[in-house]
Chains A and B, each alone.
Chain A
Amino acid sequence: MIYLDLLIGFLKVGMFSFGGAYGAIPLIRDVVLHYGWMDEDALVDMIAISESTPGPIMVNLATYVGCNKAGVLGGILATLAVVSPAFLFIILLVTLINGLAGKKRIKAAFNGIKPCIIGIILAMGVSMVGKNCISPIISEKDILPTMLTIVLAAVFFGYHALFKKKMSPIILIITAAIAGLIVYGI
């Protein structure tokens, strides 16, 4: 049943998403592809939209997947599912923080989780950029994505080096959209 799948799928995401929004994206990708709710391209579009609309990125993604698959009720279920672990953890912590016996064990588990999530995010970034950059050259169809990748990366990292300040993701997304319009036509 779709409602139950949405609930369980996004509870899992909410429970294991350490390291903020970018930590949640690989988990959401797993869940969405596992159930066949979206293809990879649609998911990436949605990441960009979630990044450019207000609110926490993983909540926006959950809302979209839920609404898209099962209407308003699906959206509400997926949204509540993704936030409830965060909610419950905080309530548990403020009510029993002093009586929490396994504190040391939890900290130890974290020492394993933190680098692992960074590795997962890095793998996702590398494979996404690699897919855009290398596969068009190998298949010799279209070198435009490769060139776009190089230009956008140069703009983004160049801005950081030049102004000692990160370019806002929204500005990069808008720049990329304009570049897409120029390259692929209106």
Chain B
Amino acid sequence: MIITLFLTFAKIGLFTFGGGYAMISLIESICVEQKRWITHEQMMKITVVAESTPGPIAINCATYIGYKQKGIAGAVAATLGVVTPSFIIIYLISKFLENFLEIQGIVSGFKGIRIAVGILILDAAIGMIKKMKKKTIPCIILGCSFVIMLLNNIINLGISSILLLVIAAIAGMIISGVSEMSAVKGGADK
């Protein structure tokens, strides 16, 4: 079973390009429909949980399904399975990339690709903004973090993204605390 978990997730890791969400649909078709390791409802639940835990979504799913099948050992096998194929591929690339970059054609190609990467990142942000619930406080937090990071990228303020995320987490907790307190007060007044 441990070996099956490893091999199944290695296959998933090998055949998904484009990261997280592409992987989820493959995990769904193999682990839910073919192998019946988990139910469709469990898969939905884990996808939601994965969105609010750090790290790659595919890893979250693999860990969960592996754990459900065979405990910690299963979780380790499934997780290592997902990362092994890309590890081997990237290792080979890291060996040869620098030699490749001495070829003029490859250099030209990468100059074009760098531009595409900027567009992809911008598009990812636009997609997330579209999906976000447009309420005042989240919009203010988004605006502040955007302005701070943009300035940081232009004139290098030395602020790390992690520091900003920690501040935002604390702000989120304070805001919910304040609104809870005012709700309690409002209730008492009535």
Contact = CB atoms under 8 A, between A and B. Distances in A.
Contacts of B79: 83, 87
Contacts of A115: 132, 138-139, 141-142, 145, 168
Nearest to B158: A34
A125 to B, nearest CB: 3
A12 B161 CA distance: 11
B114 A86 contact: no
Interface string B101-122: 1001101111111111111111
Interface string A64-95: 10011000100110010011011101110110
B161 A83 contact: no
A83 B59 contact: yes
Contact count band on B: 35 or more
Contacts of A18: 52-54, 165
A20 B150 CA distance: 20
A82 B119 contact: no
Contact of A51 (B56, B75, B120): B120
Contacts of A72: 91
Q: Which 4 A-B pairs have the closest CB atoms?
A: A180-B112, A86-B55, A112-B172, A55-B86
Given A20-B57, A112-B141, A112-B168, 6 more contacts: A59-B86, A75-B91, A86-B54, A91-B75, A175-B116, A185-B108
